[in-house]
Structure 1
Amino acid sequence: MLSHNILINTGNILSLNEVKKKAGQNPSDELIETLKITLADFEIPDDASTKIIGRDDASVKDLDRKELKITVKVFISSPKSESLKEALDQVLNILQTDSIEALVIAYSKPESTDDILTSLQSLWIVIEEYIKLGKLSSVGVSDVDTDVFVQLFQWANTKPNIVQINLATCCVVPPALQVFTKENDVQLLTHSDPHQILPKAALNDVFGKNVNLHWVTRYQVHVKCRGVLSTKGYLVYINKPGTQTKR
């Protein structure tokens, strides 16, 4: 059975009337809706790697880069450095920029007994490489236990200066995390992203069965002087089985 990789770039979803009409959707529903719109007029071939691009260009190449703040969140379930490098390189390429102001990693591997700290450390090595190259500025992680975050912070050469928590599942910010972030000048932020932004059932509904999700990246571009969100989009990278070739 052949298989191939597919990269879907939704483009700037702020230009999609269908999405605007459903403002207030949770991030999963927004992503699923946007993917269906992007794929509506595109037939995915069974035998080649494919890149699918949405209706509206998300590039910032023609804008004054000094006036923009780019924030990126990578939802990833593999601790392999190649996967994170792939996600970062693709978003830099799509936006046609050399740098990202703020990056957050949301690492989760369902039904896994993996050591979360070890996995985050593997990914953090990549982050530190990109910081040295001047491609990243503020960096952090999402939805990790306080002990894990503290250990990552103490281990890292370049310290995480962002930590996100989901109040929908956490209810109250852990006091120990509040104290640690305040003492170490770490931004403590809340978010509303689900644990799995593209669940398996939704993945199968959009792409068909037996599809494997590599990662999802959400990018947002703000105009700093006005505090306005000008661009928002997603990159989704999957592996899809193809047809059986008869000999």
Structure 2
Amino acid sequence: MTAVQVSNDIYRSTAANGQHYNGKTDFHSYGAQNGDRALPVTFSKDVFSHVTLFTGNTMVTGATGLLNASLKKSNQELVSAIDHTLHWSLESAQIHGRAITIADNSTLGPLEDDRSKYEITVKLFFLSPQGSSDPLSVNHLHNAIQHLETAIGATSTGIKIDHFILAIPNQTFDENGLDPSEIEQFTEDVQVFYLPIWKRLSELRQSGKIGRLGVSEFSKQQLEILKVAAVNVGAVAPEINQVNLHDCCVLPKELIEYAKTEGIELLTHGDSSDILPKATLASLLQPHLAATSASLLDPNFVLKYSVLISSRGLISRKGYIVDAGSE
């Protein structure tokens, strides 16, 4: 497996026993003679303005197995994966200025077999700060895709994503549809907040970098609004719509009929609509990066990915990439 690469001038660990971190951080090997891991002792004083975290493969680390099927919120898996990565991978963190990248390198790296034997599905959760008036960031999209290529050891030509789902902030499924004022507001939101990133995703779709492009928690009316806006700028219409059946026990007939007419695949999922609240991230980071003011770190996005062995119908990899910053 290859280690996560961020930049050539990033501080790197120079001793396998964790005694030195290239002049940036010293390690104390508490109880090293008993096989305990080395712990970074000065991270408690370092203040980082940007955190990127690559969880390990949850199929291997056991985070997936910790899920309680009776719980409605799926972020239990994400929280477990983040906690595991912080606990075991902080000593190999890479630092560049005030940015820190933490990665479980043991389960990252190139796919074990030829790419054609896998099916890669990605869901990108945008986590815009409450009250933000900015469009969804195309730069965040580019960063997320680059991080994914790093995580699965993509070649210099990049990697094709078979299925890409865009999850917009604070979106929940409304089986009763929208009233006239809500339709007007959503139409405006599409034009101002969502269309720029949808256009970029559409370009990736049209270039072959993305196989099929979809959204999450859209009603029939919202799908229609996005389609009209997309077609007007030469972008593609959504091909997939994920719906959380905890929000809707039975899909509305009009949505099913519309999806059938438009060739939209309807899928169900169990993802939380607020997959990584700011307070949750703060509580996870505080024991490990105490001086990093969690109150200043806003989660930018969470990328969830899975790699399916097509011929066997088995998931070989499943993980998350978390990005948060104060700038």
TM-score by length of 1: 0.86
| 1:18-57 matches, cutoff 5 A | 19=63, 21-24=65-68, 26-41=73-88, 42=90, 48-57=98-107
* Structure 1 CA distance for aligned equivalents of residues 127 and 64 of structure 2: 30
- One-letter amino acid matched to 1:207: L
Deviation at 1:15, TM superposition (A): 1.1
* Structure 1 CA distance for aligned equivalents of residues 208 and 150 of structure 2: 15
Pair 1:240–1:28, CA change in 2 (3 A)? same
* C-alpha contact (below 8 Å) 1:74/1:218 kept by paired residues: yes
Q: Does 1:70 align with 2:120?
A: yes
Q: Secondary structure at the match of 1:150?
A: helix
Question: Could you give the per-residue CA deviations for residues 72-113 of structure 1, whole angstroms, max 9, x where no partner exists?
Answer: 000003412212222122212321231110000110148xx8
Partner of 2:316: 230
- One-letter amino acid matched to 1:230: S
* C-alpha contact (below 8 Å) 1:164/1:189 kept by paired residues: yes
Deviation at 1:184, TM superposition (A): 1.1
- One-letter amino acid matched to 1:73: K
| 1:177-188 matches, cutoff 5 A | 177-188=255-266
* C-alpha contact (below 8 Å) 1:4/1:46 kept by paired residues: no
Q: Secondary structure at the match of 1:40?
A: helix
* C-alpha contact (below 8 Å) 1:76/1:106 kept by paired residues: yes
- One-letter amino acid matched to 2:282: N
Q: Secondary structure at the match of 2:299?
A: strand
* Structure 1 CA distance for aligned equivalents of residues 76 and 222 of structure 2: 30
Question: Could you give the per-residue CA deviations for residues 7-47 of structure 1, whole angstroms, max 9, x where no partner exists?
Answer: 10012121114x25524465211111111110014267795
Partner of 1:171: 249
Q: Does 1:93 align with 2:150?
A: yes
* Structure 2 CA distance for aligned equivalents of residues 105 and 52 of structure 1: 24
* C-alpha contact (below 8 Å) 2:67/2:76 kept by paired residues: no
* C-alpha contact (below 8 Å) 1:104/1:141 kept by paired residues: yes
**Hey, which of these two has a bigger chunk of strand by percent?**
1
Q: Percent identity?
A: 26
Q: Secondary structure at the match of 2:323?
A: strand
Partner of 2:51: 6
| 1:188-199 matches, cutoff 5 A | 188-199=266-277
- One-letter amino acid matched to 2:141: L
Task: Give the number of the structure with larger relative contact order, counting CA–CA contacts within 8 Å between residues 6 or more apart.
Answer: 1
* Structure 2 CA distance for aligned equivalents of residues 84 and 55 of structure 1: 22
Partner of 2:61: 16
* Structure 1 CA distance for aligned equivalents of residues 280 and 245 of structure 2: 24
Pair 1:20–1:218, CA change in 2 (3 A)? closer
* C-alpha contact (below 8 Å) 1:11/1:55 kept by paired residues: yes
Question: Could you give the per-residue CA deviations for residues 120-168 of structure 1, whole angstroms, max 9, x where no partner exists?
Answer: 2122111012123321011100012321111112332222110011111
Q: Secondary structure at the match of 1:170?
A: coil
Question: Could you give the per-residue CA deviations for residues 145-203 of structure 1, whole angstroms, max 9, x where no partner exists?
Answer: 32111111233222211001111112321222111100011101111111111122211
TM-score by length of 2: 0.67
Partner of 1:147: 221
* Structure 1 CA distance for aligned equivalents of residues 244 and 108 of structure 2: 27
* C-alpha contact (below 8 Å) 2:170/2:274 kept by paired residues: no
* C-alpha contact (below 8 Å) 2:48/2:100 kept by paired residues: no
Q: Secondary structure at the match of 1:169?
A: coil
How many residues in Structure 1 have an aligned counterpart in Structure 2? Answer: 238
Gaps of 5+ in 2: 1-46, 129-135, 172-184, 287-293
Q: Does 1:104 align with 2:104?
A: no
Partner of 1:244: none
